[in-house]
Amino acid sequence: MNNNALEHATRKKRRLRGGKFIFLAVLLIVMAGAVIYFLLTSVFVVRNVTVSGMSVYDSEKFISDLNIPEGSPLFFTPFKSRFESVARSYPFITDVSFKVSLPDKLNVSVAENVGCMEIDIGNETYLLTEDLRVISILSESAESEALLEEKPSRIKIKTSKISRCVVGETIVFDDQYIAEAVKEIYGALHEAGADGDIEYIDLTEVFYIKMYYLDRFLIQFGNWKNAQYKTALFTNVVKELYEDDTGEIDVSETREAIVELYSKY
In a domain, 256, yes or no: yes
> Are 121 and 171 part of one and the same domain?
yes
Looking at the structure, tell me whether residues 181 and 243 fall in a common domain: yes
- Binned at pLDDT 50, 70 and 90, residue 205 comes out as very high
- Domain residues for 77? 48-112
User: Is 168 found in the same domain as 60?
Assistant: no
pLDDT tens, position by position, 72-87: 888 878 888 888 888 8
40 within a domain of the structure (yes/no): no
Same domain, 64 and 167: no
> Is residue 6 assigned to a domain?
no
Q: Kindly report which listed range (81-85, 164-168, 178-182, 247-251) carries the lowest average pLDDT score.
A: 81-85
The strand pairing partners of 128, in sequence order, are 117, 134
CATH number, domain with residue 78:
3.10.20.310
pLDDT at 10: 58
Distance CA 160, CA 144 (A): 29
Query: Across residues 222-231, what is the average pLDDT?
Result: 95
- 19 belongs to a structural domain: no
**Burial group, residue 172, by CB count within 10 angstroms (0-12, 13-18, 19+):** middle
pLDDT in tens, 72-128: 888 878 888 888 888 878 888 888 898 999 889 999 999 999 999 999 999 899 999
Going by the DSSP 8-state scheme, the letter that residue 77 receives in this structure is S
Q: What are phi and psi of 112, to 5 degrees?
A: -120, 150
CA distance 247 to 265: 13
List Cα–Cα distances, 86 to 7, 55, 108, 250, in angstroms: 72, 17, 13, 48
Listed ranges 43-57, 150-164, 234-248; the one with the highest mean pLDDT? 234-248
133 and 235: one domain?
A: yes
Q: Say if CB 200 and CB 212 are below 8 A apart.
A: yes
CA-atom Rg of the chain in angstroms: 33
pLDDT surpassing 60 at residue 246: yes
238 torsion bin: left (phi>0), alpha (psi -120 to 50), beta (else): alpha
Distance CA(113)–CA(115), nearest Å, equals: 5
Mean pLDDT over 236-261 rounds to 93
Which CATH number is 239's domain given?
A: 3.40.50
What confidence category does residue 248 fall into, taking pLDDT thresholds of 50, 70 and 90? very high
In a domain, 187, yes or no: yes
Do 173 and 251 fall within a single domain? yes
User: Over the range 43-53, which residues count as b (16 or more CB within 10 Å of their CB) and which as e?
Assistant: ebbbeebebee
Query: Is 44 a residue whose pLDDT tops 90?
Result: no
Are 55 and 183 within one domain? no
User: In the chain, how many domains are there?
Assistant: 2
